[in-house]
A and B are shown apart, each in its own frame.
Chain A
Amino acid sequence: MTAHGHIPDEWLVSYAAGALSDAQALLVATHVDYHPGLKARVAEAEAIGGALLEGVAPKPMKTDAFDDLMARIDMLPDDEEAPAPPSAAERGLDTDIPPVLADYLGRRLDDMNWRLMGPGMRQCRLAKGKDGECLWLLRARGGTVMPMHDHRGTEFTLVLRGSYHVGDQQFTPGLLEIAASDLKDHQPMIDEGEDCICLVITEAPIRIHSLLGRMVQPFIGL
């Protein structure tokens, strides 16, 4: 039912509800920015929030609350036309990725602190969350075959540049792959050409099959 590479509705509902982790919210907002149809669905999910807000039992405010509010408003600086905030391009950020992510990164993808992760692969860790959740960027050279691995948590991979295949499915910029926790023998193949850069969330350490992979895993922190 969900289109290939598009996030399923339950995640959009949780985004609208504010029920995602910081890392997930960033990834979903970035992914949705590529697809007008998903933006519209987010708005629909947020309308549920609006409807629930209409339906809650009102809790009385203090008696002078409105006067306090207007006093706060009168204290605000004059609302003259504020200059538009500088665009991503004006700030020297990447313009081929959604502004919400460019803002978060605060620098170009090429200028990130890439660390060697394995043959043809580099990574840049962005944030750690609860229960082993990790938000990071993966950069893999065209033609790289990723190490075969299993999952113990859900893994989200959003393509930003380049592309890769898993079996006969291709993932190109804006498309998202969600690998469930019970997925076995997951082996993405990076397509020939430019580097493939992805925004990734892993929930628990992945299990790499090869002995070499397992030996380097503690050092790369995944």
Chain B
Amino acid sequence: MKAQCLQLAPMPHILTRSSPVPAMPLFFRPFAGRETERPAVRQKGSGNIHTGVDIAGLSHEQLVVRVATERDRAAFRILFDHYAPRLKSYLVTLGLGDERAEDLAQETLVTVWQKAEQFQPDKARLSTWMFRIARNKFIDQTRRQKYPEVDADDHLQHLVSDDKADTGAIEGQMADRVATAMARLKENQRQVIELSFFEELSHTEIAERLSLPLGTVKSRIRIAFEALRNELGEFK
């Protein structure tokens, strides 16, 4: 399955699609450890001094593509700064201690670095991909069985058209729309979604926690999902 997935989206395809950058000069390829200090300084400026690309203006999805194609540490640093503290927060909410949560957030980002080229920027948002990696790592660590994975992106339509994919602004718009959609949910609908995602409670456990009939819990989850799907309708 995995090999097939790679063949469907070979790297050159991603490169031509979303990287307006000419091929990297060879000397950029970082040597182990040497580049770790400087990127932090670079990221806030007008971009990467080697390439002249303003990485600060790229979407998170485009940054991952740079990590995949150029092993761009400055791009990776931006992703780290944004996602690591959020991954840690999510993992603490799931019940991990501070130390383990930080460690698992780090592991998640190692996987992001390693598997960056498997990320399909035209099919999934980065936050969804990161969530999936972190969820699987959490379950693999806390249960006996590895999480049985669904190859979910295989069958998705392209998320956005090509010209829209090149604008960094879409990131902010999406985040806003998601926040709006969550905010628009009725309180009792948001509650069942959060108990599912943040506490990994089963339907039965939610019913017990909220003293509700099981059927009510199920229908609230269905209604909330439908409302969010409509709001996040970019998949259609």
Chain A residues lying within 8 Å of B143, measured Cβ to Cβ, are 22
- Bound Cα distance from A101 to B58, whole angstroms: 39
Enumerate the 3 nearest inter-chain pairs by beta-carbon distance, A residue then B residue, closest first: A84-B3, A58-B85, A50-B128
Determine if A70 and B225 form an interchain contact, defined as CB atoms under 8 angstroms apart.
no
Determine if A55 and B228 form an interchain contact, defined as CB atoms under 8 angstroms apart.
no
Determine if B90 and A56 form an interchain contact, defined as CB atoms under 8 angstroms apart.
yes
Chain A residues lying within 8 Å of B83, measured Cβ to Cβ, are 53
- By DSSP majority rule, is chain B's interface helix, strand, loop, or mixed? helix
| B 171-215 contacts with A by CB, 8 A | 175, 178-179, 181-182, 193-194, 196-203
**Given A19-B202, A46-B152, A50-B125, CB of A58 within 8 Å of CB of B114:** no
- Bound Cα distance from A12 to B218, whole angstroms: 11
Bits for B55-72, please: 1 = Cβ < 8 Å to A, else 0: 000000000000000000
Determine if A85 and B178 form an interchain contact, defined as CB atoms under 8 angstroms apart.
no
**Given A48-B197, A53-B131, A65-B102, CB of A58 within 8 Å of CB of B86:** yes
Determine if A17 and B148 form an interchain contact, defined as CB atoms under 8 angstroms apart.
no
**Given A59-B92, A85-B3, CB of A67 within 8 Å of CB of B36:** yes
Q: Which of A32, A70, A72, A73 gathers most chain B CB within 10 Å? A: A70
- Bound Cα distance from A184 to B203, whole angstroms: 22
- By DSSP majority rule, is chain A's interface helix, strand, loop, or mixed? helix
Q: Which residues of B contact A (CB under 8 A)?
A: 1-3, 6, 32-33, 36, 40, 73, 77, 80-81, 83-90, 92-93, 98, 101-102, 105-106, 109-110, 113-114, 124-132, 134-135, 138-139, 143-145, 147-157, 175, 178-179, 181-182, 193-194, 196-203, 217-219, 221-222, 225-226, 228-229, 232, 235
| Minimum C-beta distance from A183 to chain B (A) | 14
Bits for A37-75, please: 1 = Cβ < 8 Å to B, else 0: 101101111111111111111111110011111111110
| Minimum C-beta distance from A54 to chain B (A) | 5
Determine if A73 and B198 form an interchain contact, defined as CB atoms under 8 angstroms apart.
no
Determine if B130 and A40 form an interchain contact, defined as CB atoms under 8 angstroms apart.
no
- Which A residue sits closest to B221, measured CB to CB? A10
Determine if A43 and B124 form an interchain contact, defined as CB atoms under 8 angstroms apart.
yes
- Bound Cα distance from A100 to B152, whole angstroms: 13
- Can you spell out 18 A-B residue pairs with CB atoms less than 8 angstroms apart? A13-B222, A14-B203, A19-B199, A22-B145, A25-B145, A29-B148, A43-B156, A47-B125, A49-B197, A50-B128, A65-B84, A66-B40, A68-B106, A69-B84, A69-B106, A74-B32, A84-B3, A84-B6
